[in-house]
Structure 1
Amino acid sequence: MGERNLPTAQHGDRHGVPVRRGLAPLDERLSEPERLCAERLRELRERIGLTSEELADRLSGDGISIDSTRLSKFLNGREVPRREIAARLHLLVAEREGVPVDADELARTRSAMYAAARVRSPLQAREFELATAHEDLCRHRARTVQELADLRNELEDERKRRKDAEAALENLGIRSREEARMLTGERDAALDRIAQLENQIRQAGAVLRLRERDVAALDQLMSATDTELVLWEMGGPGGLTGIRAAVVCLRDADEDAAADRLIERIACGYSVRDVMRLVAEFEAMRRVYDSTGVERALARLRKPVDLFHWLSGEGRESKARSAVLTAVASFAPVEHLVRIHKACVEHGSSELDQALRKAMVAERRAVPEDIDDVWAEDLRKGLAALNEWRATSP
């Protein structure tokens, strides 16, 4: 079902003012979750007060393209919007009504969309599930960080209490026996609590490290899911073939921002080996801009440990290895370069470490002095020695 044949935003009313088109009744064949989701979206559209064309334009961007036809599918229950559309809708509602975004209302909209996605689109349902799990993990991580900070503050207080009690005990000559007994009890209680707090801090630190790993793993799953959703929406095949075709299609349509975002998803969501297979396919097509774009995204966004393991396993004479090393030396955050150097030293990969330093010198990358870390200092010294050797070599 489409929208009724009322004046459109292009034509406007007799005074030339854009007019919102009415919506057709919902199809009775819709499931209950689909109907409730469509009704919720219609309610938000009414509160926003824009025409379909205006609303579609405001909802588009950051790799998501929506026109009035697709918006009509959302409002008529024939398609479920991507999860992030809920946040954009509620931001527009808040702007219109002059109030902050209502977190409870946003959660209600997402719940309705998720229920509809479970009926209509398993792929979108997976997006909702992963995003919800990611938000929960991030909340748990933030809570753990706060708990760790509180424990450390309490530990400092207990250490001060113990120190004060010990200092007072040293002056026993002017203390009564009762005061000495009290101070000894305070010192011993502080020592016991210090031991407990140190144990809790060790455990909280371990929990935080595990939560960080869980968040990183979910980030990768979300990127892969996001990519598959883009391919599904474009109607093309999945996998590397679909990714390559989608990037080409977006470039040819001058949708460079969307193509770049898709490339970033690939760099984050797929194995380094698969990412480099995509690079090879772009090179075979003589699409140099895209092949180098993938390498740069990989260098900027990928975890240092992933890059280290791939570089370690790739042959020294590999063209792909050389290209990635150059990209890493040029575009990776300095902190990542330090971590790759650290991994090289710890795993005895002296050849890779030397190749990384040579690439950094060639690309004129340095480690700023404000990075105060033993491994950063070690890498600085290695780069300085290499620069000095190059300056004195004939």
Structure 2
Amino acid sequence: MTEEQAGRAVVPVRRGHLPPLSPLKDDLGEERRAFAEHLRALRERSGMTSSDLAEELGVDATRLSRYLSGEDLPQPDLQLLTRLHQLLASRNPEYSVDEAARESLGLLYAAARSQNLLSARAYEIAQLHEKLHEQQVETARALAALQAEMQDERDHRRHAEQEIARLRQVGVADRDEQIRRLEAERDSALQRVAELEDLVSQTGALLQLQQRDVQHAEEMAAETQRALDRWEHGGELPEQRRKVDVTRLDVEEIVEELDHLRDADRDEEADGLLADVAQRHDPAVVTRLHGALEDAGRRVDVAKLLEAAALNCPGPHLRLLALAVDEPGARYGTGDFQISVPAVPLGESLLPVVGRLSPVDTILRLAVAFAQRSERSFSPLVRRYFRYCTR
């Protein structure tokens, strides 16, 4: 969970008042059904709607919906389940994250094994990687503790030697007895330092081996994922596939392609698709896509679309995007209760992001483009964000 998400006040819905989820399909299979039902129970326990829970976990709402329906399993990245259990633990001090996570992972691995052999291997390697990483963290902690203890023993020995030297220069009644006691403490500290030096050396060597084990597990995971991609795409890796010409896609086709990429955990490609749409597609299509994503509650994709435009589009194109509107005077509702919704330019959502992320010269060029056409309704906004970003 990001700091922004952690700081956001999400008010949970009372249990029993959550909107019901669609029934699970009969053909899911025993293992996949068991995991989906478990995930649904965790969602119910959170007291949050699916869309709020997705936002809190930093996952696309559509993807979470597919997990809850059993259509897909979380890919080998296990952080989703970890974040979910940490969220539940934050609301219940008696909640055991480790115990709950083990139960969830057991159900997830069983579901993955029932899917196909390559998916099962991917999850097994993910589990191995997690265990190796935990061992590495524990070894690093043990090494730090040993080093701290060794330093304490060295300080103890040094203090004893200083006291011995001081006592030998003064005349006190029990000086010899005190010196013998301090010499015993010094010798004990010297012996313990020698033992700790050996333990530190061994533990450091073990840590290096574990670091290589983790790296090897990461390489195994990457190779398995490549094999899984080849199997899923008929022997052709995603990076080898022909790139989609976004200018030929309508909004529904863009959303469908976006869903496909998100569901396959190909998030970089999905982000690239949104960037291509923002830069290359007709502004009217971009604003319709923005509206469709907002209506679907896909806040992550909405943010990615706006950020892509702000970071990549030149000033003149940003002007066209800012002025674009979706379905002027569109009517919503049924029967006699229809209402007319005035068109809202994309600029109302886009310009704040432009002011926050775009290069200064891009914002300046955008302001000039508005001013040259006397589009005064937007020029003040641009000037305001320009001042904000140059403070």
Question: Normalised by the size of structure 1, how large is the TM-score?
Answer: 0.47
Question: Normalised by the size of structure 2, how large is the TM-score?
Answer: 0.47
Which protein, 1 or 2, shows the higher relative CO under an 8 Å CA cutoff with sep ≥ 6? 2
